[in-house]
Structure 1
């Protein structure tokens, strides 16, 4: 059976493939969103246009990530257009809000230390914070929001009741 996006497969892509897809789909939605906000703000106040596009783009990105980025094995149920449920959309929105908080905090810290940073410094701080937040968001989505039963990390357990004492293991192995 091939891995990937075929109908009926429940195998999720590997971490590297998922990360590349995350960057492509998330970045694509981000670019489209920035254009949409610019267009819509000609008809609506910017804050309202930004809020509307943020909601729509978060829903779109969540659907794309569920279907293609993480290919979590969930198939369209009786939800119509939506692929994943409200819980996944809310959790994804939570990760987006956390990423927003990280980038905002980074910029506030920058302005606390330097009131008029150069454009290069400002963009370096913002893009670095965005990259860190994006990696954190990817991990949260992959390991928690869209994790399948087979891909959830196994709990760490310590076997304190060994079948043989260490001395016996050494003598039987020799």
Structure 2
């Protein structure tokens, strides 16, 4: 909650400031891109303790292109949710106040954030599950009398 929520609150303020200069959808898109990269790195380092280490050519970034692209997919869904919520608000109320806009934006962003967290946890930063060790069957060995009796019954 600290990483995602902190980035979400900062994003909310940034969107409000940028929306005064740009159309809301463009401001939301710019903030979504920057906040997605930041949140992905924070989640890799702290939330999911992925153990990723910076490698040559990535500077301070711990996540590779795969993580950022998968995270971008979740951010695209979150962007759609927040943009749709704001478009619906402006269709209902042509000039909503800043408090109403922020309430709608933060509510939509919170719901999208929960969905995004689940996708990151269950898919993007999922740790490899231990696979059961397959039992090798020796087909050339003849069963003992005891094994024959237990399989026959």
TM-score (norm 1): 0.55
The separation in 2 between residues aligned to 1:139 and 1:123, in whole angstroms, is: 24
Worse overlay, 56-65 or 131-140 = 56-65
CA displacement, residues 42-73 of structure 1 (integer Å, 9 cap, x when unaligned): xxx75798766654432222111111011123
| 1:156 corresponding residue in structure 2 | none
| 2:108 corresponding residue in structure 1 | 129
Q: CA deviation at 1:137?
A: 0.6
Within 5 Å, give how 1:1-174 maps onto structure 2: 23-32=1-10, 34=13, 46=22, 54-78=32-56, 79-112=58-91, 114-116=92-94, 119=97, 122-150=101-129
SS of 1:149's equivalent? coil
The separation in 1 between residues aligned to 2:83 and 2:27, in whole angstroms, is: 20
**Which protein shows a greater Rg?**
2
Residue segments in structure 2 that go unaligned for 5+ positions in a row: 131-153
Residue segments in structure 1 that go unaligned for 5+ positions in a row: 1-22, 152-174
CA displacement, residues 10-51 of structure 1 (integer Å, 9 cap, x when unaligned): xxxxxxxxxxxxx2123333455546995xx7xxx7579876
Contact 2:28 2:83 in 1 (8 A): no
The separation in 2 between residues aligned to 1:87 and 1:130, in whole angstroms, is: 24
Q: CA deviation at 1:118?
A: 5.0
Q: CA deviation at 1:149?
A: 0.8
| 1:165 corresponding residue in structure 2 | none
The separation in 1 between residues aligned to 2:15 and 2:88, in whole angstroms, is: 30
The separation in 1 between residues aligned to 2:128 and 2:39, in whole angstroms, is: 22
